[in-house]
Each structure stands twice: as structure tokens, then as C-alpha cells.
Amino acid sequence: MLDTLDAAAVRRWCATGLAGLRRHEHEINQLNVYPVPDGDTGSNLVLTLAAADQALAVDEAGSVGQALRLMARGALLGARGNSGVIVAQLLRGMADRLESTPAAGAADLVGALSTAAKAGYAAVAEPVEGTILTVASAAARAVADDDPTALATVARTAADAAAEALARTPSQLPVLAAAGVVDAGGRGLVVLLDALVEVVSGDAPQRVTEPTPPPPRPDLTGMREAGSADYAYEVQYLLDADDEAVARLRTRLGVLGDSLVVVGTGEGTWNVHVHVNDVGAAVEAGITAGRPYQISVTRFEEQTVVPDPQARGAVVVASGDGLVELFRGEGAVVVGAGPSTGEVLAAVRATRAGQVVVLPNDPNAQAVAGAAADEAAAEDLRVRVVPTHSPVQALAALAVRDPKRRFDDDVIAMAEAAGACRYAEVCYASRDALTVVGRCRAGDVLALVEGEVHLIGGELTAVCRKLLDQLLGGGGELVSLLVGADAPDGLADTLTAHLARGWPFVEVQLYHGGQPHYPLVVGVE
């Protein structure tokens, strides 16, 4: 049992928390409220803590404050989704409180948990109760109300209070009650606090049956070597992709640079390493091949390219070959869906512009984009986030860009154009659930309008037609159709013919976006 929390204990906490999140990853993913196929809070938290763990492994820390600062910084740059960003902010709050503390005792931990909860609330523009914020606040209040003298007592009291608050989240958020689940982010925080209890007391709280952990995956993060005379940058990332896509990636990167090494685990994960002069092209090649993450860029001369302060750039979050090419054609740097803060920040730098707009195209990516914008400000980059929720809104925003306008005025015009574009998606339900229009079963076709389920059906084309009629019944002059990778043959022709018959005065723009999960994305302006 530990009397104080030192740097070594922080490293063990991070590693133990990461292991716990990996064990519970599927469970937490299943807590996502909407039955759509890309709900992945558990996976986002695993990737966030993995980045924190890597940061602690790379740099030495002599005090608990220094270790927490490294952990928080790594988590922030690796943060994915709202919960990942909030966890990073909670860690930052702890680091701020313990910055000058060599080792934290019971009273120090009480103060750190209080500062962490306040930092979490401060990071969210409109805090909602019944979320991870509520769970963090309950943990902080519970230890503040006691007068514990033992570090293990503080940790256990906080973890128990967090678990009790998590159980109450359905009574605070009707959407959780309707789905019959607790908050996914809050569940992840309980896992992390239980890991802290295990580290300081030696006993792991038994709240749920532990599933058999998956076999360890090879560590692919350690490849490094010195500079290159012909190329200025070393680019490295982990990549989830199939063998055929990686073969094409090797060819593309071989053209861009040298010192190319691509190593796989045999399970679809690869470490990609290359020396290049065009960082953006190397990252986009990975996006085309699959899902890159833990992206790192090193300039061999240890100096950064100074961006043109008057130049303007755009970063767009998107996936699907067609969408990537479409946004690149608009001059944007593209990062894949579900990016980390570090990936968005790397994309901002890759624009080599001093004024950059980020279009997240997903409510879950908006917090990550905001964190990247804050980080970019420290580099004297002006980064603004236009809160797009769909790629069709991003297309509308990019269409009104005008470099002759002041940058802030241009951002406002883009935000107005995005807001004027109604968006909808069609997908297959990933599980049984109760929605606002009734119960759906796994495999049902769902039509979501601006994030809410509006239609449930059994046949994709019929639901798509009905969705278009419903959207255009509210008015509209321009319809954008993004056909996804899983769309059946003939869907695009069927829908354009339907629009021509039923809505002859509406202009139709058809794109083969290739986006995963959603056979059809619709925008109406």
C-alpha cells in the first residue's frame, strides 16, 4: 500500500488504467446511446490513454506533477471524441494542482481531484449532467466531504462515489434512461479511478466480471533513426488497413520519399515510417489506405516550417476515397474519421498557413478540433472551428470561401452556409434500441435527420426515397447525395430518377463518397 503518489506510481496508474480500458472496451462501446455503427467511446478512451502511456514511456519525470503533466499532454494530443478530450482535461487539472509537488499524499489527491473536476466543466461550453462530468464531480465531492489521512482511502472513496454517480446517470439524462444504459464516458472514468485504487492499495475493486483479456499486440511504436540528406521530415504512424491497401500505400510512399519501412502485426495493424518533404501527402496516403493514428512528424534540422501568416488553409475530417479526393480538390488537408488532437494539429501544420479553418464533420470530433485549435494558438496559428456535423455541411462551407474577405468574416460566412444545410444519414442499426420513433432491431435501416432517428424500415432504397421526400417537403433547392462504400449497385440511379420525377425543379449533386457505415448521406440547401 502506498502512502504517497509519486512519478513511478503515475506511470503504473496509466498502464493499469489502459489495461482496464482495453478489457472493458467492448462493454463501453455498447453503452453508446444511438444504435449507429460508429459509436466507439470505449475505443476512443483506449486510444487516448495509449497516447498518454506512450508519452510517459518516452520522457522521464522526477515528480508526481511532472509525470501527470506528461500524461495529460500525451492524452490531449492522442484524445479522440468528447470523452477523450474531457479525460485529458481532468488529467491536466490534476497536473496543475500538483505541479510543484514531488509526491502526493492524501490531502494532495483530494485537492487534485477537485481541480480536475473544475477543469473538466470549464472545458465544456454547455455542461450536461448525467455525463462523465457528473461522475468526476461526484468523486471530487465525496473525498472533499471526508477527512481521510490515507491515500488509499481517498482513492477508494473517489472510485466508489464515481460508480454510484454513474449508476444515477440514467435518471439525469432521459436519453440514457430510454436506452437502458449508463453514460459511456462516465463508465470509462470509473475504470480509471478503479485502476488508481489498485495501484495505491494493491487491491482492484470488483464491480463487474472481468472478461478474458485479448492477447498482447506487438509494440510497433519504437522505430526511429536519424536524418536524411534528401528529405526534411520523418513521418511515422500506426495504420489499420488490409494487405492490398498497404501494398498500394508502399508504392505511393516510395514515390514521395525514402527510408520506407512498413511492418505489420499480422492482425491488420501496421507501423508506417518514411522520410519525405511533403508531410501532408504522406499522411493523406495513409488515410487513403485505412485509418492512421499516433501520427508523429520530426523535422531533422529540429526547426519548424514557418507558415505564411496571411495564407489560408482548411482541414477537413472525412473518410472514404471519394470524399478524400473531393475535399483535397477543394484545397483542404484531410484527416480520417475519429481523429486525435495530435492528428488534427499535424494537419493544421501541414497546410503551412497561418489562418486555418477546421471542419470536423462530426459532433464527436468537434471537441478534438477545439483542443487542436487551442494547441495551435501557442504556435501563433489562427485556427477556427466551424461546427459542421456532416461532410455535406463542409461542402457547403467550402463553397462560400472568399480569400478577399477578412478571415473572421470568412469563418462566419462558412458557418452560416453550413448551418443552412440540413443533413441526414442512412445506416443499418448496429443493435436493438428504443428510438424517438419506436423500437429498432439490429439490421434495420435507420434514417437520421440531424442526428435523430426519423425513419425505421426494412429495405434501404425505400427508406432513402422516403427520407428524400420528407426532407424536401420542408423546402430546398439543392440536394447533395453522397453514396457510401456499402451502397448497393443502382442506388444512385434509383434516387436521382426518383428526384427527377417527384421534385423536378430541385438541383441534384451526386458524389460517390465511399464513406463507411452510411450508404447514403444527404444535404439539402
φ, ψ at 303 (rounded to 5°): -140, 150
Q: Checking DSSP bridges between strand 422-428 and strand 520-524, what pairing results, if any?
A: antiparallel
Q: How distant, in Å, are the alpha carbons of 26, 466, 471, 493 from that of 500?
A: 44, 14, 15, 11
Which set of grid coordinates corresponds to residue 334?
484531410
And the C-alpha cell for 438?
419506436
β-sheet bridge partners, residue 384: 357
Q: Is residue 338 scored above 90 in pLDDT?
A: no
Q: Which long-range contacts (CB under 8 A, 24 or more apart) does 399-405 make?
A: 401/312, 401/314, 403/312
pLDDT at position 95, please?
Answer: 93
One-letter amino acid at 65 equals G
pTM above 0.85, yes or no: no
Angle at 17 between CA 27 and CA 238, to 5 degrees: 80
User: Please, what are the domains in the chain?
Assistant: 7-201 (1.25.40.340), 228-299 (3.30.70.1150), 312-420 (3.40.50.10440), 422-524 (3.30.1180)
* pLDDT tens sequence across 203-241: 888 876 433 333 344 444 433 343 345 677 778 788 888
pLDDT at 260: 75
pLDDT tens digits, 64-76: 999 999 999 889 8
Q: What b/e string do you get for 171-187 counting C-beta neighbours within 10 Å, with b at 16 or more? A: eebeebeebebbbbbbb
- Reported as a single tens digit per residue, the pLDDT across 405-452 is 999 999 999 999 999 999 999 999 988 988 889 999 999 999 999 989
Asked whether 275 and 234 are in contact (CB, 8 A), the reply is: yes
Helix axes 391-399, 321-329, angle to 10 degrees: 10
How far apart (Å, rounded) are the C-alpha atoms in residues 67 and 339?
25
Interval 45-58 mean pLDDT? 89
Cell of 345: 494539429
What rounded mean pLDDT belongs to the chain? 87
- Cα atoms in the 13 Å half-sphere on the side-chain side of 324: 22
Q: What are phi and psi of 297, to 5 degrees?
A: -130, 125
Using CA atoms, how far apart are residues 309 and 315, in angstroms rounded to an integer? Answer: 16
Strand partners, 357: 314, 384
DSSP 462: H
